Amino acid sequence: MSPTVRPVVLSGAIAAVCALAVALAVVAASRPQVVVASPAAVPPSTATFTPGVFASGDAIVSTKPDIAFLSVGVESLKPTASAAQGDLAGKAAKLIAKAKSIGVADKDIGTSGYSVNPNYTSSNVIDGYRASEQIQLKWHNVDTVGGALDLMVQQGGATNVGVGFGLASPKAVQAQARTLAIADARARAQAMADAAGVKLGQVIRVSDLSYGGTPMFGSFDLSAKALAAPPTQVPVGQLDVQVTVEVDFAIAG
């Protein structure tokens, strides 16, 4: 190449580079700008977890019942429903009168069941109507319940008889059992804390898991034939009052 041609070629190359730079600048200016920013801080959750030791405890306190629940009933079978009801009303009145005569107060007498139904023979034919009424009595001297049942059957005309026992005021016994149950839960929690190498702290929460709060009613049935020879023996025995609790303890330190 001659010396006169080289400056021309170099000048053209410089011009091409400048043109390319200008073009890239224009393209870059026309593109949208992207800004990268740190994400906004997420607010901390309001729910907090408190580590602790959770244990359940239970206790049973046995005590003698102080009230008996007498279930005494009468029934009637007559050709018509109205006749059965009328006859039943007379029998029930006699039964209630006898209950009052042996010291049962009006507030301690209540009806627990009443029914009037067709009576079917073995060939599925209605041969009459059977009416029945069951009356609940509260008897406050459990040691004489056998004699009371004898009188209700032999003089009151009761044909369906049952008896159960309970506590007139169970709260005191329940409180005693609850105290023992909480102590049992604490002992279990302490054993777990010792095994885990932590120190047991204060109580966070206590829950009573006892079902219904009245676990002390038991009953058995007595047939009228069994009450034929007084005095009827009805052993009272003991009632078990059970309480179950759940206690949550904090971990100290």
Encode pLDDT of 186-197 as tens digits.
999 999 999 999
Alpha-carbon distances of 76 from 73, 90, 112, 132, 136, rounded to whole Å: 11, 10, 17, 6, 18
In a domain, 201, yes or no: yes
For tokens 């400048």, the residue is 18
Chain segment 111-145, per-residue pLDDT in tens: 999 999 999 999 999 999 999 999 999 999 999 99
In a shared domain, residues 130 and 196: no
Which of 140, 166, 192 is at the close of a domain?
166
- Domain presence at residue 12: no
Q: Which domain holds residue 158?
A: 67-166
The per-residue pLDDT for range 48-64, each reduced to its tens digit, is 667 899 999 999 999 99
Confidence of residue 246 (pLDDT cuts 50, 70, 90): very high
**Looking at the structure, do residues 76 and 127 belong to the same domain, yes or no?**
yes
Same domain, 75 and 57: no
Domain stop point among 129, 151, 166 = 166
56 and 72 share a domain?
no
Instruction: Tokens 């224009």: give the residue.
Output: 26
Strand pairing class (218-223; 67-78) = unpaired
Least confident of 41-45, 80-84, 165-169: 41-45
Residue 28 has, within 13 A of its CA and on its CB side, a CA count of: 6
Determine whether 231 is exposed, middle or buried from the number of CB atoms within 10 Å of its CB (0-12, 13-18, 19+). Answer: exposed
Q: Backbone phi, then psi, for 77, in 5-degree steps?
A: -125, 115
pLDDT at 226: 53
What is the tally of structural domains in the chain?
2
Same structural domain for residues 181 and 160?
no
What's the average model confidence in pLDDT over 26-44? 40
Tokens representing 20? 């390319």
Show which of 166, 201, 221 is a domain's final residue.
Answer: 166
The span from the CA of 228 to the CA of 114, in Å, is 26
What is the per-residue pLDDT for 233?
87
16 in any annotated domain: no
Give residue 218's pLDDT. Answer: 45
Whether residue 207 sits in one domain with residue 184: yes
Q: What percent of the chain has a predicted confidence (pLDDT) above 90?
A: 68
Regarding whether 190 and 159 lie in a shared domain, the answer is no
State whether residue 123 is helix, strand or coil: coil
Q: Identify residue 97 by its one-letter amino acid code.
A: A
C-alpha distances out from residue 37 to 40, 51, 75, 103, 183, Å: 9, 37, 88, 89, 58
> Same structural domain for residues 141 and 183?
no
CATH number at residue 115: 3.30.70.2970
At 207, which CATH number? 3.30.110.170
Instruction: State whether residue 157 is helix, strand or coil.
Output: coil
Whether 47 is covered by a domain: the verdict is no
Domain co-membership, 57 together with 84 = no
Tell me if 96 is assigned to some domain: yes
Determine the average pLDDT of the residues in 212-220.
45
Mean pLDDT (whole number) for 15-28: 43
pLDDT at 93 over 50: yes
Instruction: Indicate if the pLDDT at residue 213 is higher than 50.
Output: no
Asked, for residue 117, whether it belongs to a domain, the answer is yes
pTM exceeds cut of 0.85: no
Side-chain half-sphere exposure of 54, counting CA atoms within 13 A: 5
Predicted confidence (pLDDT) at residue 253 exceeds the cutoff of 90: no
Residue 232 lies in a domain: no
**Cα–Cα distance measured from residue 108 to residue 101, given in angstroms and rounded to the nearest whole number:** 13
Does the pLDDT value for residue 67 go beyond 50?
A: yes
Indicate whether 7 belongs to any domain.
Answer: no
**pLDDT confidence bin for 34, thresholds 50/70/90:** very low
